[in-house]
Structure 1
Amino acid sequence: MAWEGNMEVFSPTGALTADSYPNWLKFHIGINRYELYSRHDPVVDALLKDLDRQKISSVAMKSGGTQLKLIMTFQNYGQALFKPMK
Structure 2
Amino acid sequence: MAFRTAAAKVLPEEIAFRKKLGFIVPIRIWMADERYNQDVQRLFHSDIAEKFFDVDAINAIFDEYVGGNSDNWRKVWTIYTFLVWYEEYFVKR
What interval of TM-score do these two structures reach, taking the shorter chain for normalisation? under 0.3
The TM-score with structure 2 as length reference comes to 0.26
User: 1 or 2, which has the higher helix percentage?
Assistant: 2
The TM-score with structure 1 as length reference comes to 0.27
User: 1 or 2, which has the higher strand percentage?
Assistant: 1
Higher relative CO (Cα under 8 Å, sequence separation at least 6) belongs to 2
